[in-house]
Amino acid sequence: MVVDEAELRYLRRCVELATEALEEGDEPFGSVLVAADGAVLAEDHNRVASGDRTRHPEFELARWAAANMSPEERAAATVYTSGEHCPMCAAAHGWVGLGRIVYVSSSEQLASWLAELKVPAPPVRTLPIRDIVPDLVVEGPVPGLAEQVRDLHRRFHRAS
In the complex, the residues that contact Zn ion under the rule CB under 5 A are 56, 86, 88-89
The nearest distance, CB 6 to Zn ion, in angstroms, is 25
Q: List all residues 6 or more positions away from 68 whose beta carbon is below 8 Å from its beta carbon.
A: 41, 42
The nearest distance, CB 158 to Zn ion, in angstroms, is 23
Q: Which is nearer to Zn ion, 86 or 149 (CB)?
A: 86
* CA–CA gap between residue 135 and residue 137 (Å, rounded): 7
The nearest distance, CB 89 to Zn ion, in angstroms, is 3
* CA–CA gap between residue 134 and residue 42 (Å, rounded): 25
Q: Which is nearer to Zn ion, 5 or 120 (CB)?
A: 120
* CA–CA gap between residue 158 and residue 138 (Å, rounded): 31
Q: Which is nearer to Zn ion, 132 or 146 (CB)?
A: 132
